[in-house]
């Protein structure tokens, strides 16, 4: 199974979702391919996000913003959009068995405490995605 998390910049929300999904799926002995991308990729992932992911024990190496064209988009089974821009601009492919939109706060001016709450929200959504309590 291939799962893609798509946001606007691929610098905060979808990066967090990618890292969380990789770790949680591995702990649950699941083997999906996890991707993240942005419809307007940023130049880099927020430093605060990388620091928070590392602090919480998530894989943060090699995380970088990517465009939708850099992932096997037409082969993705589960497409999850994390921003209104991504929801509106991501075309639906017949290959996507499932498409979801997660309503998450815009991180444009979030401080560390708010980023931590966003990460907790994403953790809960990913656990639900994999049906893990």
Task: Give the CATH number of the domain where residue 41 resides.
Answer: 3.40.50.2300
Residue 96: give the domain boundaries: 2-129
Question: Which pLDDT band holds residue 133 (cuts at 50, 70, 90)?
Answer: low
Whole-angstrom distance, CA of residue 64 vs CA of residue 15: 8
For the beta carbon of residue 94, count every other beta carbon within 10 angstroms.
6
Mean pLDDT for the stretch of residues 25-50: 94
Q: Is the pLDDT of residue 105 over 70?
A: yes
Tens of pLDDT, residues 53-65 = 999 999 898 899 9
Please state the domain count of the chain: 1
pTM here is: 0.93
């Amino acid at each position: 199974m291939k799962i893609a998390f798509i946001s606007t910049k691929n610098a905060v929300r979808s990066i967090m979702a990618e890292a969380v999904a990789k770790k949680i799926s591995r702990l649950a002995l699941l083997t999906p391919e996890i991707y993240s991308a942005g419809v307007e990729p940023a130049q880099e992932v927020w430093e605060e996000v990388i620091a928070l992911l590392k602090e919480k024990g998530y894989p943060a190496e090699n995380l970088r913003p990517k465009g939708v064209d850099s992932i096997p988009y037409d082969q993705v089974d589960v497409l999850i959009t994390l921003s209104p821009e991504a929801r509106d601009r991501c075309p639906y492919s017949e290959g996507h068995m499932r498409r979801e939109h997660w309503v998450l706060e815009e991180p444009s001016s979030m401080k560390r405490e708010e980023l931590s709450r966003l990460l907790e929200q994403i953790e809960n959504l990913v656990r639900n995605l994999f049906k893990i309590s």
